[in-house]
Amino acid sequence: MSGIALAVIGGTGVYRLAALADVETREVDTRFGKPSGPIRVGHLLGQKVAFLARHGEGHSVPPHQVNYRANLAALKDIGATRVLALNTVGGITERFGPRVLACPDQIIDYTWGRISTICEEPGSEVLHVDFGEPYTPLLRHKIVAAARVTGVKLVDGGCYGATQGPRLETKAEIARMRRDGCDLVGMTGMPEAGLARELGLDYACLAIVANWAAGCGTGEEITMAEVLANVEAASSGLPELIGELARG
Ligand code: HPA
């Protein structure tokens, strides 16, 4: 299938795009194995959009076990060239409180032991892709513009720190990340962004802040109920934003 204007990867709390119409389900197998679940392809405000739930539609795949390579390769195999990654995150610095939407422009990778390259197949050429700008700048600009056009409030910029999970961080870990320059913390930003670059996909992140990270904000205990409620509240403008992004 071709003509996919945009592929969307949903994170924790975003397991489907309810606004997708005429949905067709694609079960895809790739040279890296199976993605986290079926790809739903449909129309959103007149544009063909593909959706994949990163953790599976039942939220059953933990961050360190997501087959990031298969997810991205599957989207590429069905004809997608642009990927909008929705990432549920914790907020570290002042501007990134719960329910904020942000389009980060940098990443620090604290993950370990994940397959982080496509260059592991026997005989494949080793790639040293440029990753100075980890998110495709043009796609980032289009996200920011789509937010403006649709009246969705969005913070432009920020540094995403990718942790291993699935547990949340200690206060000391978050304090170190703050010193490092991280504004946001999540568990799935890497290796996904690096693999997208290796695969030649345009890729950018729309981060949904679900809670203050450990020791930040009010410093209260983080609950899954809080995370899911804030993701839902922050996501109300996403269908319009995604539809607008798919158009341009
Ligand atoms: N830390 C890491 N990942 C997250 C968080 C957090 O506080 N909230 C949502 N995803």
Judge if the beta carbon of residue 188 lies within 6 A of ligand 1. no
Q: What percent of the chain has pLDDT over 70?
A: 99
> Phi first, then psi: what are they for 106, rounded to 5°?
-140, 165
Both tokens of 226, joined, read 């809080």
Bigger pLDDT: 123 vs 161:
161
Output the residue whose Cα is nearest ligand 1's atom 10. 89
Output the residue whose Cα is nearest ligand 1's atom 6. 90
Contact 72, 103 (CB under 8 A): no
> How far apart are the CA of 23 and the centre of ligand 1, in A?
31
Judge if the beta carbon of residue 168 lies within 6 A of ligand 1. yes
Q: Does position 61 have pLDDT exceeding 80, yes or no?
A: yes
Judge if the beta carbon of residue 227 lies within 6 A of ligand 1. yes
Helices (H), the chain: 68-77, 137-150, 171-180, 192-198, 224-234, 238-247
pLDDT of residue 1: 38
Q: Does position 124 have pLDDT exceeding 50, yes or no?
A: yes
pLDDT of residue 219: 78
> How far apart are the CA of 17 and the centre of ligand 1, in A?
22
Domains defined along the chain, listed by start: 6-120+130-247 (3.40.50.1580)
pLDDT of residue 206: 98
> How far apart are the CA of 26 and the centre of ligand 1, in A?
30
Q: Which amino acid is at 162?
A: A
* Residues facing residue 24 across a β-bridge: 41
> Which atom of ligand 1 lies nearest, measured to the CA of 212?
7
Q: Does position 80 have pLDDT exceeding 70, yes or no?
A: yes
State how beta strands 202-212 and 106-109 pair.
unpaired
Judge if the beta carbon of residue 37 lies within 6 A of ligand 1. no
What's the pLDDT band for 127 if we cut at 50, 70, 90? Answer: confident
pLDDT of residue 158: 98
- The CA angle 59-25-197, to the nearest 5 degrees, is 70
Judge if the beta carbon of residue 210 lies within 6 A of ligand 1. yes
The DSSP letter of residue 23 is E
Q: Residue 131: helix, strand or coil by DSSP?
A: coil
E strands along the chain, which residues? Answer: 6-10, 21-26, 39-44, 47-53, 82-91, 101-103, 106-109, 155-156, 159-162, 184-186, 202-212
CA pair distance 185, 152, nearest whole angstrom: 22
Q: Residue 151: helix, strand or coil by DSSP?
A: coil
Q: Does position 117 have pLDDT exceeding 90, yes or no?
A: yes
CA pair distance 52, 11, nearest whole angstrom: 9
pLDDT tens track for 15-55? 999 899 999 999 999 999 999 999 999 999 899 999 999 99
Both tokens of 172, joined, read 């000391």
Q: Which amino acid is at 136?
A: T
Output the residue whose Cα is nearest ligand 1's atom 2. 186
